[in-house]
Amino acid sequence: MSKGALGELETLVLLAALRLGDQAYGLSIAEEIRRTARRPVSRASVYVTLRRLEQKGLISTWRESPDVAPSGKPRRFVRLRPEGITRVGEARRGLQRMWSGIEDILEEA
């Protein structure tokens, strides 16, 4: 894997954040991965990945207003930066290239 390549969990977290839109935060991302990718993932791993993605500049975070937070404690939401979206797209294209030509084999499996 090249230095800038996304790891599998990083890709999943970015995808989940994209799917959730402005409702993406740690817990909801973990839940989305569990529900949609049907992959058990620990919350701790999701938060570690979010922090790493933020340090890489692929996501930005923002806190909701305390006034609208149900508990009075604002959630920290996540959104993808343009660089993040580009990297997810690159990951998708790379995977698609790898998938191509082996559909027959996989259908037989």
Partner 1 sequence: MTRLPKGARRVLRMFLPGDWREDIQRDLEEAFATRFASDGRLRSTLWLWGQVAAFAARFVAERVREAAGGGLLTSTDVRLAVRAVRKSPGLSVLAVASLSVGIAMAVGSFVLIRGTFFMDLPFPEGDRLYVLEDYNRTDAYAVGVGPQEFLRRRLRLTSFEAIEAYRSRSVVLGDGGGGGISVSARYSTPGLLLLADTPPRVGRLPDAADVQAGAESVVVIPHGVWRALGSDPDVVGSTLIVAGTPTTVIGVMPERFAFPWGDEIWIPVDIAAGQEPLQVIAKLRDGVDVRNARAEYQAIARPDPMQVTPGTEVAHEVIRMDRSLASGSAAQLALLIPIAVSVLLLGVMATNVANLMLARNATRAGEIAVRSALGGSRLRVAGQLVLETGVMVAVAAGLALGLTRVGLDAFQARVRGLPYWADFSINAPTAAFIVAVVLLTTCVVGLLPALRVTGGNLSDALRDGSRGSSGVRFGRLTGTLIVLEIAICVGFLSSATLLGRSLLAFGFEGTDIPGSEVLVAQLYLGWPDILRDPDASLPETERADIRAEFLRESARKGELLREASLTLPGARSAVLATRFPGNESQPARVHVEASGAVVVSELAEIGEGYFELLGARPLIGRDFNEVERADRLPVAIVNEMFVRLHLAGVDPIGSLVRVVRPESSDVDAEPWRRIVGVVPSLGLNPGNPANADGVYLPLPELNVVRLAVYGDGNPPQWTPRLIELARAVDPAIEVQWSRTLEAQMREPVVMFRALGTGLLLLGVLALVLSAASLHALTSASVTRRTRELGIRQALGARRVAIVGAVARRTTAQTAAGAALGGVLALALSRLGSIFPWEVADGSAWALTAVAVLLLATNALALAQPLHRALSIRPADALRAE
Applying CB under 8 A, which residues contact partner 1? 25-27, 42-45, 47-48, 50-52, 63, 70-71, 73-76
- Identify which of residues 72 and 101 has a Cβ nearer to partner 1 in the complex: 72
Q: Write down the least CB distance from residue 51 to partner 1, Å.
A: 5
CB of 101 to partner 1, least distance (A): 36
Rounded-to-integer distance, Cα 85 and Cα 79, Å: 10
Listed residue (47, 70, 68, 67) closest to 59, CA to CA: 47
Residue type, 88: V
Are the beta carbons of 81 and 53 closer than 8 angstroms? no
Which is nearer to partner 1, 5 or 48 (by Cβ)? 48
Q: Which is nearer to partner 1, 55 or 100 (CB)?
A: 55
Residue 78: φ, ψ to 5°: -125, 140
CB of 76 to partner 1, least distance (A): 4
